[in-house]
């Protein structure tokens, strides 16, 4: 006689029903006639020891074989990960204190909206000084282009005339002193003094003539080039300072949500320090880890299906990036089986308007339907 033992055990790869039976033992009586003794095993409360032990051994063997078969054919998909969005970090242009924060964390902002403002008093003063320097350079260039004024030329001519008369007087004085020295009426030192005065008068006369010649010939091309270069330099300095001043008012480069504001008004972040982080209102993407067995078939452009807890809708997506470097332990690998496998970081962009409303950071599962074809 056979009696069913109703034993069912769920396995990770699916539900399998294991039906076990125990066979009634046949014995012979003292007269040699066979008779049947039934082991009652149809009731969980009245199992004989032999039947129970037999069922336990058979079930353990069957379960072990089933588990071995399941592990050998277990699929590495779906890949798991989290939903992310592109982040934009806004940095301080200069080491200046924060005078205004116009938003709060979690607030939605539009492109070009003011996020915070740094003190620009120092840079405004530098800008004003550069504007004055530019004006001076422009006036100097205009002066050189126009050439020397008539009044300056007349002044130079008068200086030449005066220097010439002084030179003549010093020459006559030198001749007179030399004659007296020759007659023994003056000491030789007086002649040396007269000679020095004559040489100085000659130098003054030559300098006055050179200045007059410069005015008469006008501005040289080299002088004009230098003046124009000075104007260009001053203009570039002003442009750079204006850009710096404009960047002291930090605006959102794109529509998004304010994620982090690490500073408070009055604090002075270093130049280049991150003063705000935005989550861009673009299509979200799933950051997942692709198991090594399917890595060769998961390439950019591959279609994907994304699921998340609490939402019955499946979202379509496309693989946009797969890392070339393998990782051994994704941060969310909870089982030893997952931790022992190689995986590759990948990003899957979600398509469709419905995906834009999904919150950042939620866990997701990603399948690749075409891999099963």
For the chain, the straight-line distance linking the first and the last C-alpha, in angstroms and rounded, comes to 48
Kindly list the distances between the CA atom of residue 211 and the CA atoms of 155, 199, 219, 340, in Å, as whole numbers in the listed order.
10, 19, 12, 90
CATH topology of domain 87-117+244-280: OB fold (Dihydrolipoamide Acetyltransferase, E2P) (2.40.50)
Counting other chains too, the contacts that 139-145 makes at CB distance below 8 Å and 24 or more residues apart are: 140/227, 140/230, 141/224, 141/227, 141/228, 141/230, 141/231, 144/219, 144/223, 144/224, 144/227, 145/219, 145/224
**pLDDT of amino acid 265:** 95
Nearest to 109 by CA among 251, 253, 255: 255
Name the percent of the chain lying above pLDDT 90: 44
**pLDDT of amino acid 337:** 59
**pLDDT of amino acid 54:** 41
Map 56-93 to HEC letters: HHHHHHHHHHHHHHHHHHCCCCCEEEEEECCEEEEECC
The model's confidence at residue 293, banded by pLDDT at 50, 70 and 90, is confident
The Cα–Cα gap between 349 and 352 comes to: 10
The model's confidence at residue 15, banded by pLDDT at 50, 70 and 90, is very low
Nearest to 123 by CA among 240, 218, 16: 240
Higher pLDDT, 341 or 35: 341
Can you tell me which residue has the tokens 């950042």? Answer: 360
Query: Residue 250 pLDDT > 70, yes or no?
Result: yes
- Token pair of 164, please? 């010439």
Query: Residue 303 pLDDT > 70, yes or no?
Result: yes
Per-residue model confidence as pLDDT tens digits over 32-82? 444 444 443 443 333 334 444 444 443 433 433 343 344 434 556 788 899
**H-type alpha helices, 149-283:** 150-182, 188-217, 221-247
Nearest to 341 by CA among 11, 79, 68, 64: 79
17-26, 144-153, 332-341, range with the lowest pLDDT:
17-26
Name the percent of the chain lying above pLDDT 70: 75
Contact assessment for residue 238 and residue 72, using Cβ atoms and an 8 Å cutoff: no
CB within 8 Å of 113: residues ≥ 6 apart: 102, 103, 251, 252
CB within 8 Å of 25: residues ≥ 6 apart: 36, 37, 39
- Token pair of 70, please? 């399941």
Half-sphere exposure of 82 (CA within 13 A, CB side): 11
**pLDDT of amino acid 332:** 56
76-85, 233-242, 317-326, range with the lowest pLDDT:
76-85
Contact assessment for residue 275 and residue 91, using Cβ atoms and an 8 Å cutoff: yes
Q: Does domain 79-85+281-372 bear CATH number 3.30.420.10? A: no
**pLDDT of amino acid 373:** 60
The Cα–Cα gap between 70 and 325 comes to: 29
Range picked from 43-52, 224-233, 282-291 for highest mean pLDDT:
224-233
């Amino acid at each position: 006689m056979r009696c069913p033992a109703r034993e069912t055990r769920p396995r990770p790869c699916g539900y399998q029903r294991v039906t076990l039976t125990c066979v009634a033992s046949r014995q012979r009586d003292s007269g040699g006639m066979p008779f049947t003794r039934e082991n009652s095993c149809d009731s969980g409360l009245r199992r004989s020891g032999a039947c129970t032990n037999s069922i336990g051994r058979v079930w353990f063997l069957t379960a072990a074989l089933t588990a071995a078969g399941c592990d050998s054919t277990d699929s590495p998909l779906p890949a798991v990960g989290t939903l992310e969005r592109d982040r934009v970090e806004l940095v301080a242009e200069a080491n200046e204190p924060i005078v205004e924060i116009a938003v709060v964390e979690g607030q939605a902002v539009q492109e070009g909206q003011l996020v915070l403002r740094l003190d620009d008093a120092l840079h405004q003063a530098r800008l004003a000084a550069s504007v004055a320097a530019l004006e001076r350079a422009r006036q100097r260039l205009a002066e050189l282009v126009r050439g020397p004024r008539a009044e300056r030329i007349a002044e130079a001519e008068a200086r030449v005339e005066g220097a010439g008369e002084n030179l003549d007087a010093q020459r006559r004085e030198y001749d007179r002193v030399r004659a007296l020295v020759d007659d023994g009426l003056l000491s030789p030192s007086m002649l040396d003094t007269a000679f020095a005065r004559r040489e100085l008068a000659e130098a003054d006369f030559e300098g006055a003539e050179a200045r007059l010649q410069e005015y008469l010939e006008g501005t040289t091309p080299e002088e004009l080039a230098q003046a124009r270069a000075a104007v260009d330099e001053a203009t570039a300095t002003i442009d750079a300072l204006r850009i710096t001043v404009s960047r002291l008012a930090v605006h959102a480069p794109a529509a998004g949500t304010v994620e982090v504001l690490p500073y408070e008004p009055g604090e002075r972040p270093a130049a280049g320090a991150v003063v705000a982080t935005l989550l861009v209102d673009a299509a979200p993407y799933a950051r997942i880890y692709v198991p090594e067995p399917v890595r060769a078939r998961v390439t950019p452009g591959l279609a994907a299906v994304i699921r998340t807890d609490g939402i019955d809708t499946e979202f379509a997506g496309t693989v946009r990036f797969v890392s070339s470097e393998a990782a051994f332990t994704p941060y969310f690998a909870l089982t030893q089986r997952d931790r022992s496998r190689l995986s590759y970081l990948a990003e899957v962009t979600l398509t469709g308007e419905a995906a834009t409303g999904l919150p950042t950071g939620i866990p997701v599962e990603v399948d690749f339907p075409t891999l099963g074809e």
